[in-house]
Amino acid sequence: MKIPLEWLKEYIKFDLKPEVLADRLTMAGLEVGAIEYHGNNISDVVVGKIKAMERHATRSEIHICQVDTGIKILQIVTKAQNVKVGDKVPVALHGATLPSGIKIQNRELHGVESFGMLCSKVELGLADSAEGILILDKDTAVGEDIRKVLGIGGAVLDIDILPNRIDVLSIIGIAREIGAVLNKKMKMPLINVKESAEGIKKAVNISVKEKTLCPRYMARVIKNVSIKPSPEWMQEKLTACGMRPINNIVDITNYVLLEMGQPLHAFDLDLLKDRILTVRKAVKGEKMTTIDGEKRELGECLVIADPQKAIAVAGIMGGANTEVVDSTKDIMLESAYFEPKAINRAEKYLKLRTESSIRFDRGVDWNGVEAALDRAASLMSELAGGEILAGKIDIKAKDRKPKSIKLRLNRVNDILGTDLKFPQIKAILSRLGFGIKGTNVEVPLFRAGDIEREIDVIEEIARIHGYEKIPVTLPDLKIKSMKGISEGQINRVRTLLVDAGLSEAVTYSMLPPSGDMGIGEPRGEHIKILNPISEDLSVMRKSIIPSLLKVLTSNLNRQIEDVNIFEIGKIFYREKGANIEKMELGAVLFGKRAYRYDGKKEYIDFFQLKKIVEDVLGYLGVSFEIKDSGLTGYHPSRSATIHNKQKMIGTFGELHPEVCGKLGIDKPIYIISLDLDETLNIKKLPPKFKDVPLYPAVKRDIAMIVPYGITNKAIVEEIKVSGGELVEEIILFDKYEGGQIEKGHYSLAYSVTYRNPVRTLTDEEVNAKHEEISLNLANKLGVKVRK
On whether the CB atoms of residues 63 and 42 are closer than 8 A, the answer is no
Q: Based on the structure, what is the number of domains in the chain?
A: 6
Residues 492 and 633 both lie in one domain: yes
**Mean predicted lDDT score pLDDT of the chain:** 90
Average pLDDT over residues 320-330: 94
Give the angle subtended at the CA of 241 by the CAs of 239 and 242, to the nearest 5°: 65
- Whether residue 188 lies inside any domain: the answer is no
Residues 231 and 377 both lie in one domain: yes
Residues 69 and 165 both lie in one domain: no
Residues 297 and 356 both lie in one domain: yes
Closest CA to 86 of 102, 67, 69, 63: 67
**Measured distance between the N- and C-terminal CA atoms of the chain, rounded to whole angstroms:** 90
Residues 508 and 452 both lie in one domain: no
Please, which residues have CB within 8 angstroms of residue 618's CB and are 6 or more apart in sequence? none
Q: Which has the higher per-residue pLDDT, 259 or 518?
A: 259
Average pLDDT over residues 166-181: 94
Kindly report, residue by residue over 67-83, the tens digit of the pLDDT. Answer: 999 989 999 999 999 99
Residues 504 and 627 both lie in one domain: yes
Kindly report, residue by residue over 355-408, the tens digit of the pLDDT. Answer: 999 999 999 999 999 999 999 999 999 999 999 999 999 999 989 999 999 999
Q: Look up the CATH number of the domain holding residue 388.
A: 3.50.40.10
- Whether residue 480 lies inside any domain: the answer is no
* pLDDT score for 47: 95
In a 3-state reduction of DSSP, which class is residue 357? helix
Torsion of CA 653, 655, 657, 660, to 10 degrees: -150
Residues 168 and 129 both lie in one domain: no
- Whether residue 187 lies inside any domain: the answer is no
* pLDDT score for 479: 54
- Whether residue 477 lies inside any domain: the answer is no
Domain stops at, among 374, 396, 418: 396
Q: Look up the CATH number of the domain holding residue 108.
A: 2.40.50.140
Q: Does 480 score more than 60 pLDDT? A: no
> Which amino acid would we find at residue 186?
M
> For the ranges 61-70, 208-217, 602-611, 621-630, which has the lowest average pLDDT?
621-630
The CB-based long-range contact list for 16-20 (8 Å cut-off, 24+ gap) reads 16/182, 18/155, 18/157
- Whether residue 687 lies inside any domain: the answer is no
Give the angle subtended at the CA of 529 by the CAs of 524 and 535, to the nearest 5°: 100
Average pLDDT over residues 405-425: 92
Residues 420 and 529 both lie in one domain: no
Residue 596's pLDDT band, with cuts at 50, 70 and 90, is low
Residues 22 and 120 both lie in one domain: no
- What is the residue-wise DSSP string for 702-771? EEEEEETT--HHHHHHHHHHHHGGGEEEEEEEEEE-STTS-TTEEEEEEEEEE--TTSPPPHHHHHHHHH
Residue 522's pLDDT band, with cuts at 50, 70 and 90, is confident
- Whether residue 356 lies inside any domain: the answer is yes
Please, which residues have CB within 8 angstroms of residue 244's CB and are 6 or more apart in sequence? 128, 238
Measured CA to CA in angstroms, residue 269 lies from 207, 301, 615 at distances of 16, 23, 86
Residues 263 and 335 both lie in one domain: yes
Measured CA to CA in angstroms, residue 275 lies from 202, 382, 507, 589 at distances of 9, 25, 63, 77
Question: What is this structure's pTM?
Answer: 0.59
Domain stops at, among 681, 714, 729: 681
**Number of Cα atoms under 13 Å in the Cβ half of residue 703:** 10
On whether the CB atoms of residues 670 and 653 are closer than 8 A, the answer is yes
What secondary structure, in 3-state letters, does 2-25 show?
EEEHHHHCCCCCCCCCHHHHHHHH
Residues 648 and 632: their CA atoms lie apart, in Å, by: 15
Residues 421 and 498 both lie in one domain: no
Q: Which helix (H) or strand (E) holds 743?
A: none
Domain span at 434: 404-469
How remote is the C-alpha of 754 from its chain's centroid? 67
On whether the CB atoms of residues 656 and 594 are closer than 8 A, the answer is no
- Whether residue 693 lies inside any domain: the answer is no
Q: Which has the higher per-residue pLDDT, 328 or 683?
A: 328
Residues 612 and 77: their CA atoms lie apart, in Å, by: 96
Closest CA to 11 of 241, 172, 152: 172
Closest CA to 605 of 520, 673, 668, 672: 668
Residue 685's pLDDT band, with cuts at 50, 70 and 90, is low
- Per the document, the length of the chain is 787
Q: Does 483 score more than 50 pLDDT? A: no
Give the angle subtended at the CA of 415 by the CAs of 409 and 418, to the nearest 5°: 70
Closest CA to 78 of 87, 149, 70, 127: 87
- Whether residue 504 lies inside any domain: the answer is yes
Q: Look up the CATH number of the domain holding residue 630.
A: 3.30.930.10
Residues 310 and 272 both lie in one domain: yes
* pLDDT score for 485: 54
